[in-house]
Amino acid sequence: MILRQQYLKRLKSDLDRWSQQGLVDPAKVPSIIKDAQGTGGGTSLATVLAVLGVVLLGFAAMSFVAANWTEMSKLTKLLVLAFGMWGSVGIAAWRIRTDDKEHGLYTEAAILLAVILFGVSIMLIGQMYHIGGEYSDGLMLWMTGALVTAWLVPSRAALVLAIILTPMWSIAVIMEDPALLHWQFIIPISLAGLLAAAMGWRPAAHLIIIAWGVWFSTTALWLLEYLDWSADTVFALAAMVALIIFAKGHIAMRLIAPFEDAMIHWGLLAAMGTAFWLPLVAEGQLPDETYYIWVAIILGAMVLATGGMAYMQSRFAIPDMAVLTAATVTFVLFPYASLALGDLADWLFVIAYFGASVWCVSYGTRTHDRFSINLGFAAFGLMALYVYFETVGTLLDTAAFFAVGGVLLIGLSVGLGRIRQRLLARQAKAEKVA
């Protein structure tokens, strides 16, 4: 992560100084750095094959039962389901007692198979006994079982399945009753986040943020369709939510520490991506007078408060806070500015977006984060193409349009690529000297 890279750089410098002073055994320095980098273990081929094998066994169980379901008696059906699920639980319990490592890959595979078969049992038993209820109820029970299993064991495999099932449950609820906002999604996904933080498992952060993204997307569609909000208001709110995630990733909290990298990168990517589409979806309509401005003010205050906390902890510099504040004000007022100023608001926003792209590159250079550098260059290039399509492209015939567009693409790729390489080379040289 961005802050983690700074920490590792400082740690290496300190360890060199401490080893020279005799405070640390020089032979142990590489092991300390390796442990701090989290490279002691990785995803091996055996792990991948074991997980894929479990998934295939789960599909095999579903296919076999489905193909022979009508020919089985109820007792046979129950025995098949119970034997498969509890057999997997028994294997997992045996592996937990015999594994030298805590929850080895075969233990996790057995737990995952048990949780998958638990979900299969829910669906098939409900069908067999004609139990009333919605499809989302079965998904909720399956998700709850996976989450409880992940907490009791604890199991990373069960946690991954619970995270995947959470947005599926939310989508199923919305499809069954699209008139209501499914806010209950927040409860299980927050519990999954707390559990992942307790495990200190960084990869889970990416899945959790993706799950949040799916829920925000379905919520945005709900706002567009059932509350008749304009697209630019929805995109403005989404951009502010992304800024909250980005800023929160900079706060020094033990609970957030495993998620810092994912929150900073995904938040920045979502903010820049959503902002890029904001002038494209502007409809020039008056925002919802009842809710929008209050929701926007609350989200804006959350952005500034979160950024302020990061600044107080010296994890944000003054330029970062200035850009964060300007972006928040821009997003809150853009729907009104678009209505009042028309195309002028779009062009002012484009200028601001170019400035944000430059800041993104500067931020990545200062924090030694290549992701932010690459994102800034990509955003700058995409906006340059948008300006070309909106202005020069309308004044040229088709042949000249494509010719000039091709030259522009090549020029952007060469120019931005050279600047990027210089920045990365300078950054690598500085890290080597340090």
Q: What is the pLDDT of residues 143-159, one digit of tens each?
A: 999 999 889 888 888 89
Q: Which residue has the higher pLDDT, 25 or 216?
A: 216
**pLDDT tops 90 at residue 126:** no
pLDDT for position 305: 95
pLDDT of residue 336 exceeding 80? yes
Q: What is the pLDDT of residues 158-200, one digit of tens each?
A: 899 999 999 999 998 888 887 778 889 999 999 998 898 888 7
Confidence of residue 300 (pLDDT cuts 50, 70, 90): very high
Q: Among 71-85, 173-187, 264-278, 388-402, where is mean pLDDT lowest? A: 388-402
Cβ contacts of residue 35 below 8 Å, gap of 6+?
A: none
Question: Shortest CA distance to 163 belongs to which of 184, 192, 131?
Answer: 192
Q: 122-131, 198-207, 241-250, 388-397: which range is least confident on average?
A: 388-397
Q: What per-residue confidence (pLDDT) applies to 39?
A: 44
Is pLDDT above 90 for 301? yes
Residue 2 banded pLDDT, cuts 50, 70, 90: very low
Pick 272 or 57 by higher pLDDT: 272
Q: What's the confidence (pLDDT) of residue 312?
A: 92
First to last CA, the chain: 18
What is d(CA 39, CA 325) in angstroms, rounded to the nearest whole number? 37
Instruction: Say which residue, 83 or 356, is predicted with more confidence.
Output: 356
For the packed helices 29-37 and 2-20, what is the interaxial angle rounded to 10 degrees? 170
Please check the confidence at residue 90 and state whether its pLDDT lies above 80: no
Q: Is the pLDDT of residue 95 over 60?
A: yes
- The pLDDT value recorded for residue 252 is 81
Burial label for 355, CB within 10 Å (0-12, 13-18, 19+), is middle
Q: Which residue has the tokens 């933080």?
A: 197
Return the higher-pLDDT residue of 109 and 44: 109
CA–CA distance, 92 with 106 (Å, rounded to integer): 8
On the question of pLDDT at 406 being above 80, the answer is no
Mean pLDDT confidence for 376-380: 88
Percent of the chain with pLDDT over 70: 71
pLDDT tens column, 226-285:
777 788 888 899 999 999 999 998 888 877 777 888 899 999 999 999 999 888 877 666
- Which residue did the predictor score with more confidence, 251 or 38? 251
d(CA 59, CA 61): 5
The answer to whether 361 and 423 are in contact (CB under 8 A) is yes
pTM: 0.72
- Helix (H) or strand (E) holding 243, with range, is helix 231-248
pLDDT band at 50 (very low <50, low <70, confident <90, very high): low
As a whole number, mean pLDDT of residues 74-94 equals 72
Tokens (6 digits) for 399: 């042949």
Higher pLDDT, 127 or 20: 20
Q: Is the dihedral of CA 247, 250, 251, 257 positive or negative?
A: positive
DSSP code of residue 168: H
